[in-house]
Amino acid sequence: MLKHYQHFLTVQFAVDEINKDPHLLPNVTLGYQLLNNFHQSDLAVESSLIWLSGKGPTIPNYSCDRQHKSMVAIGGMSSTLSMAVAPLLGVYKVPQLSYGPFDLLLSDESQYPYVYQLGSRESTLHLAAVQLMLHFGWTWMGLIISDDMRGEQFLRDLNEEMASNAMCLAFTEKVPENFLKENEDINFLSRILQSSSNVIFIYGNTDSIKEISHLLKYYAFSGKMLVTTSSWDFSAEASDSMMTNFHGTLIFSQFRKKIPGFTDFLRSVHPRANPEDIFLKTIWQVVFKCSLSEVSPVDMVRRGCHENFSLTQVSPRYLDKNIMEKSSNIYNGVYLFAHALHHMLQTEGKDVSELAANPLLSWKLHQFLKCVNPVTGIKDELCGDGPSMTPEKYDILNFRSLPDSIRTQVKVGEVIPQEKELRINEEDIKWPEDFPQIPSSTCSVACGRGYRTQSLEGQPVCCFDCILCPDGRISNNTNAEECMQCPEDQYPSKEKDRCLPKTVTYLAYEETLGMILAFAALCFSILTTFVLGVFVMYRDTPIVKANNRSLSYILLTSLTLCFLSSLLFIGRPTPAICLLRQTTFAIVFTVAIASILAKTITVVLAFRATQPGSKLRRWLGTSVSYFLIFICTLIQMCLCGIWLGTYPPFLEMDRHSEASFIIFQCNEGSLVTFYCVLGYMGFLAFVSFTLAFLARNLPDTFNEAKYLTFSMLVFCSVWIAFLPAYQSTKGKAMVAMEIFSILVSSAGILICIFAPKCYIILLRADRNTLEILRNKANP
């Protein structure tokens, strides 16, 4: 794995930086030894013995190197290797800085007291994963984890966080240490491919899920979007042809700070400058395809190795020029050791000569390694049990498999889980070939606005049906669990996806219906005033005198007020108008009906009192008619007074009768009193109609009794029809219905009683004579 050569280059670079720093370990020069373990535990233990025993035979507890000055071991690209060498190094209390993925087992201080893990704890990786899934709307996800304590802990944390965000796991597969049963690997692959989830999160390190790597050497997760962590090096065993199956994979990687000067350092690394580096020669021969049996400039050029070749020209297939995660851990580990040694020398007051005389001071480093932040190098004065924790931060990398076997990881975003801060450039992401655009991974199609979710029995919460919100409710979010009730001053849109402000409405003069009714009321009032003027002008004519002109004046005046009272029902209501309009209408209408009743009684009595000496003559005076009108009106005024004194009409805003309107209207208050007022007017009208009907055949010259009968018939018909219509309508229609009833009933009285008389007065003056009246009275 040539790309791991960067780990050694990072050690070189960090040591060179520290040795050039005049403030860190002044007068001390750091060095290093390099031993290879070939990723095998037994060789890792053997390399540790070689390091502890010196250059001679590997004899435990014996050192052949009298000038052994190494104080710390940086090693363990995986937790397996770290565990293998930890017991041996622990015997000598040698600190081991493990730069591989963090492992909970290694954090057991009772078993591994001298192991310091440089890798991220990934304690918030589940939060980062959920934030990424939420960003892309992936609520239905598959999970593959290592079958160990780390995998179990990640599963618990992820399940808890996903549940709080209404996300679900389509499946959870644990990768065994080995596929032992027949076709177990094929069944494992089939379960994954048959899942409806398009996104799969793979969690584990290279060792713990090596069986997945073996499986993917021959098969691919077709139609699946992979998300994983940098702890799993999927390129470890995959061939070049299979690496295309990982194209588009998103990788969570420990945040890697930029190390200034590293690129320049790579440019300076050359076999001529580092002749003792046998690995560099191998790298050079592989990537530049030249032979380095000799290192003289002439021989290098002759064999195809030009002087201007540098590691910055190496393809990412062989060597990544950006600091990788494990290299970043190594860099931090070298500085952690340097700062710890620096603080130890300062604290104990030792100088370089003492350090050279007594090099076996590894055991004294432990308390300083625990008190220094491995990233910042700052000493923690409180000195806890380990390096102070800083908020975890992850880079989001996009793996790309390019032509010519070029593989690269491009940073497309970063996330700080504790702060719920996610930054990602979707335009920079290259998705897998199976997904031309952002993949979708949901159990059910998202319910749009205006719908709510309904869970399916026996299914996870991510699987649901979409139900349209009921009338009066809305949902303005995708996948809303419940539909919301709009505030009282708002109403749902037709799509039921938002609340719209209700419009304040009332029967206004500006609208067509209000203008028509107001115009009709004014016209009829003017017409009534005109009739009154005609009667006053022709007050001495026989037809006016014969019809009791004083009562006619009162009736015409009250009718004029009846027409005008309808205007109180038009326009924006106010509390004062609500108090006045029904009572005003009731009183002036009562005066009009009482006047008709007085006229009817007068007509009847006039024909009953024709005999000489009849006692009925005394009831024919105008004072009796005035008194009758007064009594009838007084009774109505008392009813109105009771109404206003107990439960009067009031202004209200009706928000419920019409969905999209707030109706400004007058509430009648006590309906019992309201109908008593109307019933009293109806009673007077019925009495007038009955008397007029009984006197319809009396020999009246101008058919006064018949006219009164027709007027009361119209009046009663209108108001009888009004009651059910009034009960069945709301808002403006109800007000318009009452105005229409007032106008029609008043107009009926005006036309039926006074139209024939005006016709004779204005057009047939020849019939308006005393002779005709007498001839008619004495046929």
Three-class SS of 357-401: HCCCCHHHHHHHHCCECCCCCCECCCCCCCCCCCCCCEEEEEEEE
CB atoms within 10 A of CB 36: 12
Task: Give the least confident one: 98-102, 478-482, 590-594, 697-701.
Answer: 697-701
- The pair of structure tokens assigned to 515 is 């203008």
Average of per-residue pLDDT across 273-290: 79
Residue 502 near residue 662, CB atoms below 8 Å: yes
- Please give the model's pTM, rounded to 2 decimal places: 0.65
Torsion of CA 231, 318, 336, 35, to 10 degrees: 100
CB contact at 8 A, 140 and 441:
yes
C-alpha to C-alpha distance for 495 and 500, rounded to whole angstroms: 11
Give the architecture-level CATH label for domain 1-119+323-370: 3-Layer(aba) Sandwich (3.40)
185 near 216, Cβ under 8 Å?
Answer: no
Give the mean model confidence (pLDDT) for residues 296-302. Answer: 47
In Å, how far from its chain's centre is CA 108?
A: 43
| Residue 102 tokens, joined | 């963090």
Residue-averaged pLDDT of the chain: 83
Structure tokens at 101: 């993925």
The predicted structure's pLDDT at residue 386: 42
CB atoms within 10 A of CB 727: 9
Question: How many helices, marked H, and strands, marked E, lie in the chain?
Answer: 22, 20
**pLDDT value at residue 306:** 65
Q: Does domain 124-254+392-428 have CATH number 3.40.50.2300?
A: yes
Is-contact 773 546, C-beta < 8 A? Answer: yes
Torsion angle, CA of 366/369/371/375, rounded to 10 degrees? -170
**Antiparallel, parallel or unpaired: β 250-254 and 225-229:** parallel
User: Greater confidence, 700 or 146?
Assistant: 146
Would you state the structure tokens that stand for residue 113, as one six-digit string?
């007291």
Same fold across 1-119+323-370 and 124-254+392-428: yes
Residue 613 has pLDDT above 70, yes or no: no
R_g of the chain, CA atoms, integer Å: 52
Q: Where are the domains of the chain?
A: 1-119+323-370, 124-254+392-428, 451-501, 512-774
Q: Which CATH number fits domain 512-774: 3.40.50.720, 2.60.40.10, 1.20.1070.10, 1.20.120.1200?
A: 1.20.1070.10
Q: Give pLDDT, residue 429.
A: 95
Looking at residue 697, its pLDDT comes to 65
Q: What is the mean pLDDT of residues 339-367?
A: 72
Contact assessment for residue 480 and residue 470, using Cβ atoms and an 8 Å cutoff: no
Quote the percentage of the chain above a pLDDT of 70: 85
The residue to which tokens 């960067």 are assigned: 6
Q: How far is residue 111 from each of residues 87, 122, 529, 764, measured CA to CA in Å?
A: 9, 21, 113, 129
Closest by Cα among 738, 735, 743, 722 to 522: 743
Would you state the pLDDT for residue 192? Answer: 93
Tens digits of residue pLDDT in 112-149: 999 998 887 888 999 999 999 999 999 999 999 999 88
